[in-house]
Amino acid sequence: MAPDENDAADDKPTYTEKGKAFDRDMSYIPDRITKVVDGAPRRPEHGPVEGELWPVEPGRYRLVAAKACPWANRSIIVRRLLGLEDVISLGMPGPTHDKRSWTFDLDPDGKDPVLGIERLQEAYLARFPDYPKGITVPAVVEVATGQVVTNDFPWITHDLFSEWRDHHRPGAPDLWPDDVREEMEAVMQRIFTEVNNGVYRCGFAGSQEAYDDAYDRLWTAMDWLEERLADRRFLMGDTVTEADVRLFTTLARFDAVYHGHFKCNRNKLSEMPVLWAYARDLFQMPGFGETIDFDQIKAHYYVVHTDINPTGIVPKGPDADAWLTPHGREVLGGEPIQPW
Ranges of beta strands (E only) in the chain are 32-34, 36-37, 40-41, 53-55, 61-64, 89-91, 139-142, 147-150
CA distance 197 to 262: 11
> In the annotation, is 202 catalytic?
no
Closest of 114, 100, 17, 65 to residue 296, by C-alpha: 65
**Strand partners for 335:** 239
CA distance 102 to 294: 18
Catalytic residue, candidates 69, 211, 264, 278? 69
CA distance 292 to 323: 11
**Amino acid letter for position 22:** F
Catalytic residue, candidates 28, 124, 200, 301? 200
> In the annotation, is 264 catalytic?
no
Tell me, rounded to whole angstroms, the distance of Cα 290 from its chain centroid. Answer: 15
**Amino acid letter for position 95:** P
Answer yes or no: are the C-beta atoms of 117 and 104 closer than 8 Å.
Answer: yes
CA distance 145 to 159: 21
Annotated catalytic residues are 69, 200
